[in-house]
Amino acid sequence: MVINMAPGFSEEQLQHIIQRVKECGFQPHVTRGTERAIVAAVGSGGNRSALEALQAAAGVDSVVPIAHPFKLVSRQTRSERTRVMVGDVCIGGEEAVVIAGPCSVESREQLLATAQGVKAAGATLLRGGAYKPRTSPYDFQGLGMEALKLLREVREETGLPVVTEVMSTADIDLISEYADMLQVGARNMQNYDLLRQLSKTRIPILLKRGPSATVKEWLLAAEYLLAGGNQNVVLCERGIKTFETETRNTLDLAAVALARELSHLPVIADPSHGTGRRDLIPQASRAALAIGADGLIIEVHPCPERAWSDGAQSLNLDEFARLMRNLSAPIRAVASSIGVEAVTKAERLNGHSVYSV
Ligand code: PEP
Ligand code: MN
């Protein structure tokens, strides 16, 4: 249930509601806006009818059930959009953010050249895998500790905050010392132990959607992070498994819009894993921004043909720079069968414009 406090509520009234929510057997999570506050009562096994009765308490506007199984992630419990700060970069603000870098960190030269190139082109965050979740145990698994040190060095040299993946609870403390944001990869979206441990930290998390996860399961995975106390969560649509074989995954752009509708968390898109094809990355990136994505994460390598992982879906530095230049170009004009003349006529007939919405 959510208890919406009325405009002009007093602190004493709010504290009373928080106390009553606890007495009813739920955990209160308070979101304060400029004029209003919302108390989300979450948990199971509490006394729901006692909660409903708080409708009559002073300072309360309404008590309404939360429509979805994800509670703290829902827009019902927070009407303003969440902004996540990664270093000094804001994800979920006015401007879309581009995270770029190699799939895997391979060497100092490779990482530095990529970081300098993507920064010059306008990216504000650097990605690079140190611990890689590979489908085959025989594929390159990442440089581990050596890569973390390189990420730190390159962050110091370029000033770009760093995003890298964490696969195991055992690595959280170590990776948090070297990175500004931790990626929970698609394969680990439902690793609840990992999510629970990460929820106790305050480090920003990039939560990728599992390849076979529904939007509801994805948002419930985010709920683990928020329920444990970590609000710094960014969702990432990276393509799902479908019957299509021409693309590596199917980038589910509707899910980007839907996740932003259902949740207050920022949502970004990954056109690299989402398509698996370098030639589709520019178009998919523009489409993702057009549908409302708060940013993009794109794989870039100085020489994709020599990449140790995901070369087929990596752009080189020139291609990335071109993509960045074209990201904000207008989308094509729509041909219209209704000319200015017709609108004027409709206005005359109806006394108002059909376009007055
Ligand atoms: C990656 O970012 O390189 C990666 C492995 O991503 P995902 O978890 O989406 O497959
Ligand atoms: Mn990759």
pLDDT digits (tens, 9 = 90+) for 305-314: 999 999 999 9
Structure tokens at 308: 């140790």
Closest CA to 6 of 41, 74, 58, 44: 58
Average pLDDT over residues 251-256: 98
Residue 346 has pLDDT above 50, yes or no: yes
Pocket test for ligand 1, best of 140, 268, 270 (most atoms within 8 A of CB): 270
C-alpha 288 – ligand 2 centre gap (Å): 18
Is 354's pLDDT higher than 90? no
Give pLDDT, residue 115. 98
pLDDT over threshold 90, residue 207: yes
Please state the rounded mean pLDDT for residues 137-160: 97
Of 5-19, 202-216, 327-341, the poorest mean pLDDT is in 327-341
- Tokens encoding 357: 């919405």
Is the CB of 208 within 6 Å of ligand 1?
A: yes
DSSP state of 81: P
Q: What is the pLDDT of residue 152?
A: 98
Q: Over 60: is that where the pLDDT of 163 sits?
A: yes
Give the pTM.
0.92
Query: Is residue 186 in contact with ligand 1, taking CB distance under 6 Å?
Result: yes
In whole angstroms, how far apart are CA 241 and each of 75, 179, 209, 216, 298? 27, 29, 11, 16, 19
Contacts 24+ apart (CB under 8 A), 288-291: 288/237, 288/251, 288/253, 288/256, 289/96, 289/327, 289/328, 290/331, 291/253, 291/254, 291/256, 291/257
pLDDT at 356: 35
What's the confidence (pLDDT) of residue 357? 32
What number does the ligand 1 atom closest to the CA of 133 have?
5
The mean per-residue pLDDT over the stretch 151-173 comes to 98
Contact indicator for 309, 134 with CB cutoff of 8 Å: yes
Per-residue pLDDT at 353: 43
State in Å: Cα 349 to ligand 2 middle: 58
Of 326, 311, 323, 321, residue with least CA distance to 110 = 311
